[in-house]
């Protein structure tokens, strides 16, 4: 087993090969203590006193600091809360006000829909000639010009797993005098990240994917420390105020990253997340990355050899790929259903992609070999051609 493998720490159904940690990570076994410690003792035992006595109010910052350790941010540069869609709105709204003379937001046309919708909604709320420009990923750099205010990109594409060269793009955006926001939804907890070295202005991400925080766990926002004083929150909730319990009727922003807080934090979910993040404390991300590449390359090579009907949608070159492998096939939805029926869980993204999250914390080489074996059986015997597999569920 690899040095990063620690499946015994997780609650994953016996016999299941779980290849969907890029969509929803599994719970740590240790999480079960939350029910006694946080629900029974803190909430039930202390009720309203819990806010002070159990440091619930500080949690968004303490969780943010733990995330900072994982993605290479300074202490006090990240706060947790809300959902990624909200955090994307906040980052974008803060960013564009830093360059008032520039009127273009540039993004990848294949970005995750929420990132695009949020940007479009923000642009629509202005009475000006502000514009969202969506271009193909290879045209991002050539689309930079003196009108580009902010570039909003997701580091690893949710559909294909294609990964941007974060350093190169950030440098090009900065040379152009523009601001960059990195969405780390599919990279935090999956690939080595060093926000300080990259020097990006903003970053956002969610925590229920590779960070295993559980369904609906809080998102996070990073603001480069020198900008915390300069930028202004547009979503102004009471907890972004510098003194929320003064209950002033005029907003004065917090002087810390807490200005990006909005409302009451989700204490139970944050407590789960806080424990989940501990799994990364002693983890060497370069070892994790190495193992992820080894498993992904093995997967791709074996599929190429034995399942030639599947078309690779991820980059073949591992340096251009996150921790996910995707294939397409005209009947990919049914193929995935057949696979799930055989206790191997990945997922499907319209129109025709099946995705496999490669998470070396709980996926081994044997799991990959077994997955390809079952895939081959499904394909060569057309086991996917079954009416129950063709029926599209609400969540795919």
Ligand X SMILES: *Cc1c(COP(=O)(O)O)cnc(C)c1O
Question: Do 74 and 68 meet the contact criterion of CB atoms below 8 Å apart?
Answer: yes
Smallest gap from Cβ 179 to ligand X, in A, equals 18
Spatial distance between the Cα atoms of 84 and 98, rounded to a whole number of angstroms: 21
Q: Does 222 bind ligand X (CB under 6 A)?
A: no
Smallest gap from Cβ 49 to ligand X, in A, equals 31
> Angle, nearest 10°, between helix axes 113-124 and 84-96?
40
Nearest to 193 by CA among 173, 168, 166, 217: 166
382 catalytic? Reply is no
As beta bridge partners, residue 88 has none
Among positions 92-151, residues that touch ligand X (CB under 6 A) are 112, 114-115
| Contacts for 323 with CB less than 8 Å, ≥ 6 apart | 22, 156, 161, 186, 187, 190, 191, 210, 289, 292, 296, 357, 358, 359
Among positions 148-187, residues that touch ligand X (CB under 6 A) are 154, 158, 183, 185-186
The residue count for binding ligand X (CB under 6 A) is 13
Q: Does 84 bind ligand X (CB under 6 A)?
A: yes
Exactly one of 209, 224, 261, 289 is catalytic; name it: 209
Smallest gap from Cβ 307 to ligand X, in A, equals 26
Exactly one of 355, 356, 362, 367 is catalytic; name it: 355
Exactly one of 89, 164, 208, 280 is catalytic; name it: 208
CA 114 vs. chain centroid, Å, equals: 12
209 catalytic? Reply is yes
Residue 85 vs 337, nearer CB to ligand X: 85
Q: Does 396 bind ligand X (CB under 6 A)?
A: no
- CB atoms near residue 352 (< 10 Å): 15
Smallest gap from Cβ 27 to ligand X, in A, equals 18
Binding site for ligand X (CB under 6 A): 83-85, 112, 114-115, 154, 158, 183, 185-186, 206, 219
Instruction: Give me the active site residues, please.
Output: 112, 183, 208-209, 355
């Amino acid at each position: 087993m690899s040095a990063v493998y620690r499946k015994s720490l997780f609650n994953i159904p016996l016999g299941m090969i779980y290849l969907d940690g890029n969509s929803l990570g599994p719970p740590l076994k240790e999480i079960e203590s939350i029910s006694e410690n946080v629900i029974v003792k803190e909430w039930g035992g202390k009720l309203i006193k819990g806010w002070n006595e159990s440091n619930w109010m500080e949690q968004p910052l303490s969780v943010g600091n733990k995330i900072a350790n994982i993605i290479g941010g300074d202490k006090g540069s990240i706060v947790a809360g809300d959902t990624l869609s909200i955090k994307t709105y906040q980052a974008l709204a803060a960013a564009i006000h830093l360059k008032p003379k520039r009127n273009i937001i540039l993004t990848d046309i294949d970005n995750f829909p929420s990132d695009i919708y949020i940007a479009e909604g923000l642009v629509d709320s202005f009475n000006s000639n502000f514009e969202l420009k969506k271009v193909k990923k290879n045209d991002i750099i050539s689309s930079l010009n003196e009108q580009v205010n902010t570039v909003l990109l997701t580091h690893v594409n949710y559909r294909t797993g294609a990964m941007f060269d974060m350093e190169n793009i950030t440098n090009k955006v900065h040379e152009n005098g523009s601001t960059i926001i990195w969405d780390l939804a599919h990279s935090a907890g999956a690939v080595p990240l060093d926000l300080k070295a990259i020097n990006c202005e903003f970053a956002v991400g969610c925590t229920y994917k590779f960070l295993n925080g559980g369904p609906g766990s809080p998102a996070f926002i990073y603001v480069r420390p020198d900008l915390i004083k300069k930028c202004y929150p547009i979503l102004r909730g009471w907890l972004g105020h510098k003194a929320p319990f003064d209950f002033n009727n005029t907003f004065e922003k917090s002087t810390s990253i807490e200005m990006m807080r909005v409302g009451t934090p989700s204490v139970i979910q944050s407590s789960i997340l806080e424990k989940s993040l501990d799994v990364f404390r002693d983890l060497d991300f370069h070892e994790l990355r190495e193992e992820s590449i080894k498993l992904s390359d093995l997967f791709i090579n074996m599929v190429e050899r034995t399942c030639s009907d599947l078309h690779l949608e991820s980059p073949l070159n591992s340096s251009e790929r996150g921790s996910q492998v995707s294939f397409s096939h005209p009947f990919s939805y049914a193929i995935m259903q057949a696979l799930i029926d055989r206790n191997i869980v990945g997922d499907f993204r319209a129109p025709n992609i099946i995705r496999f999250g490669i998470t070396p914390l709980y996926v081994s080489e044997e799991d990959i070999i077994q997955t390809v074996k079952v895939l081959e059986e499904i394909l060569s015997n057309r086991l996917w051609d079954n009416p129950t597999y063709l029926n599209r569920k609400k969540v795919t």
